A and B are shown apart, each in its own frame.
Chain A
Amino acid sequence: MSTEKVKKTVPYTVPIGPVHPALKEPVMFTFGMEGEIVRTVDFAPGQTHRGIEWMGMRRNPVQIVHLTDRICGICGIVHSLSFARAVEQIAEIQVPERADYIRTILHELERIQSHLLWAGVAAHELGFDSLFYLTWRVREQSMDLIENLTGNRVNYGIVQIGGVRRDISDEQRVLAEKGLDYYQGLLDKMATLFLEDSTILMRCRGHGILSEQDARLLCTIGPTARASGLNMDVRQDYPYCAYGDLDVKAILPPPETGGPKGDVYDRIIVRLLEVGQSIGIIRQCLENLPAGEILWEPKMAKLLAVLKKAEGEGIGRVEAPRGECMHYVKMAGKEAPESWKVKASSYSNLMSWIPMLQGEQLADVPIIVASIDPCLSCTDRVAVTRNGRSDILTKEDLSRLSREKTRRMMQ
């Protein structure tokens, strides 16, 4: 249906965004409404493009690693790990085993805090602020642990090309184990508070449904895809860091809760179960933490020299809390990479909003939008302005532009 036609058939439109309390991230929605029912959905990302790739192409990989920390306020490890893996692939750097385990531990700690953060936001979107406060309070434990291990609550600065910058000492190990025990004891309570509350059940069960087929067709990833029943997880399908040594299986909504229905409730279940899974992974890593170096080359000047000589292309893929995150890097024997492309996980999930939102009530828009855990600041790679006003690029425009760019790069 063309936009013109739609405008005539819906009685009124409600704009939500780019700045709106329903959205913790800047995106612009236009809903065609019929009473309380959403008939048509359109959304426009690209409200918060920061040109981070442009900045990266003027810096050396050691600098970019710290830049990647700041692509997302939550997935610091994810982006820096993904970038580092791409560069290590190009420069053929062998990461020490101990560093791989430490990376895994922090990666999973990040997943715990990210999922708890999401759970709090979801509770807030449902109008359940007490649960939001409680969730964020227990999240502090993981933030404190991360702060202790890396030196900062966010923007950890722990990943370096060829390893990690800080080791885990024996005292820190004790702290980490204490933190894990805390979350282990908390899991049942969180499950009760989220899954047995009848008001949450009323609001989430059977709403924002994404069928398995739609999830596959729209290439959704991460917990959104798993809640719809797609058995996929980069940690399982394409193990990296220490995941090859561990037994990681993608978590699907268990049959005793009614099997994968692909609704908002299933997404809550998947994320809560993944917190439990992460606790298990960290425990295994701490137990089997191998001894040895944590950096491939501790001397930065030497590392920089190696990276300057590196030539080739690399792709770093990691399973972020929101789904697969991918960094593409091309180095051409210069200080700065010739090309750097970031695909944040939310990018693949945005289109699933449309089938989820159609036919739902306006009241459910916030929780459905939040249910894919969108992270648009990390996702926005393009903002087009022409003559001072923003513009929309069609599919044809995009393929023409990418062909032109490829030709430029081939020369």
Chain B
Amino acid sequence: MIGNLPMILVGAVLIAVFSIIIGLLLMGFDRIVAARMQARIGPPLTQPFTDIRKLLAKENVVPENAIPWLFNLAPVLALASAITILLYLPIAGFAPVLSGGGDLILVMYLLTIPALALVAGGFASGSPYATVGAQREMVTMIAYEFPLAIVIIAIAWKLAAAGIALPFTLASIQANPVWSLVGPLGVIGLLILLIVLLIVTPAELSRVPFDTPEAETELAGGILVEYSGKNLALFSLTQGVKTVAMASLVVALFFPYSLAAILGIAGIPAAVTDILFFIVLITIVAFLSVSLVRVSMARFRINQVISVYWIYLAIAGLAGLLLVMTDQIVGVI
């Protein structure tokens, strides 16, 4: 591991740059597509870059009631942890930068860290809006964690049942696309699990209808209300990177395919094809789970967020899991 350190550092920097650029482009894409779905023109694709540049040039305002060190630490922590998630996820068919160091369980825990940083920043803001927002963010986090866990366990269980060693590592998932391991019943089960994961994504990214922690109309931006300048820029970058991370997770779990391998391309063109293919995949995921969902419904109340996740999605997830299991048992018989 120590001998790999330079490689890991280079990889980490590359991933950070890649994820920030792709994240911002995804945000720009989301804004254009959402605008078109609302019959507006929308901003140019590069608008998020302009916004970040503007924010970086602005002053950081720390409110009087805030706890300054925590208030300023939270955005850095959020961005760093969001990038860390990507170090454990396979990007465009390449093995994760930190492969061997962690598995899906770790990714699940890492996913909560940006949200926790946001909560810490919210509580440290010393504003009632941010406090309410932070409370809601915690509740939302608890709510979506359960369906997310069901999806991850279902896939790992399937791999284990298929006799694959180390079912929780992303390398195994990468090497064995789940769709090829299941029969027709399992396909239905996996489809349900995919939909569950797609609906968990907007909550992870706090977008409508699960943007209760930010809730522009009642909390005026809630958890982020006191943030400005560079700190807000870091949170915006986190948002972009988190979008990439969640989309990559969906792609890694359900579509770990390589277009180059299918087309039989090798060498550098293969890498380029795979990166482009990967970007197309995460864009589709982002469109379905973020843009389309956020323009077509109203915001939920916080208790409705809980009932959506704990009751409807948990039942859907368990049904998917059961279908996959039944499929396995039927297949064995």
Contact = CB atoms under 8 A, between A and B. Distances in A.
Interface of A: 12-16, 20-22, 33, 36, 123-131, 133-134, 137, 197, 199-200, 202-203, 361-366
A21 B128 contact: no
Contacts of B216: 21, 127
Contacts of B296: 130
B301 interface: yes
B85 to A, nearest CB: 27
B301 A361 contact: yes
B215 interface: yes
B132 A15 contact: no
A268 B40 CA distance: 25
Contacts of B218: 16, 22, 362-363, 365-366
B37 interface: yes
Contact of B128 (A13, A126, A361): A13
A222 to B, nearest CB: 23
A362 B132 contact: yes
Nearest to A124: B217
Contact of B217 (A131, A134, A366): A366
Contacts of B208: 127-129
Contacts of B38: 129-130, 133-134
B211 to A, nearest CB: 7
B212 A134 contact: no
A127 B298 contact: yes
Contacts of A363: 212, 215, 218, 299, 301-302
A200 B302 CA distance: 15
Nearest to A200: B298
Contact of B301 (A33, A197, A200, A364): A364
Given A127-B215, A130-B296, 18 more contacts: A12-B128, A21-B217, A33-B132, A36-B132, A36-B136, A124-B217, A125-B217, A130-B295, A131-B298, A134-B38, A197-B298, A202-B298, A202-B301, A203-B298, A363-B299, A363-B301, A366-B217, A366-B218
Nearest to A16: B218
Interface residues on B, range: 20 to 34
A13 B128 CA distance: 8
B297 interface: yes
B303 A361 contact: yes
B116 to A, nearest CB: 21
B299 A127 contact: yes
A290 to B, nearest CB: 41
A168 to B, nearest CB: 31
Contacts, number: 84
Contact of A361 (B37, B209, B302): B302
B29 interface: no
A40 to B, nearest CB: 15
A160 to B, nearest CB: 39
B220 interface: yes
B304 interface: yes
A133 B216 CA distance: 16
B300 interface: yes
A390 to B, nearest CB: 22
B309 interface: no
Given A127-B208, A130-B38, A130-B295, A202 B300 contact: yes
Nearest to B219: A362
Interface of B: 37-40, 128-129, 131-132, 136, 208-209, 211-212, 215-220, 295-304
A7 to B, nearest CB: 14
A19 to B, nearest CB: 10
Nearest to B211: A127
Contacts of B219: 362
Specify which of A15, A131, A200 lies most central, judged by the most chain B CB atoms within 10 Å of its CB. A131
B297 A14 contact: no
B129 A197 contact: no
B5 to A, nearest CB: 47
Contacts of A199: 209, 297-300
A39 B300 CA distance: 21
Given A13-B128, A133-B40, A366-B218, A127 B301 contact: no
Specify which of A137, A200, A366 lies most central, judged by the most chain B CB atoms within 10 Å of its CB. A366
Contacts of A361: 301-303
B220 A20 contact: yes
A199 to B, nearest CB: 4
Give me the 9 closest cross-chain CB pairs, A-B, nearest first: A127-B299, A126-B298, A128-B298, A199-B298, A366-B217, A199-B297, A363-B301, A130-B295, A133-B38
Contacts of B215: 127, 363
Nearest to A360: B301
Nearest to A370: B217
30 contacts: A12-B128, A13-B128, A14-B128, A14-B129, A14-B132, A20-B220, A21-B216, A21-B217, A36-B136, A124-B217, A126-B217, A126-B298, A126-B299, A127-B208, A127-B209, A127-B217, A129-B295, A131-B298, A133-B38, A133-B40, A137-B39, A199-B209, A199-B299, A202-B300, A361-B301, A361-B302, A361-B303, A362-B218, A363-B215, A363-B218
Nearest to B295: A130
A125 B216 CA distance: 9
B220 to A, nearest CB: 5
A176 to B, nearest CB: 25
B39 A21 contact: no
A363 B222 CA distance: 12
B220 A128 contact: no
A361 B218 CA distance: 11
A128 B38 CA distance: 11
Contacts of A137: 39
Contacts of B211: 127
A128 B297 contact: yes
A23 to B, nearest CB: 9
Specify which of B40, B216, B298 lies most central, judged by the most chain A CB atoms within 10 Å of its CB. B298
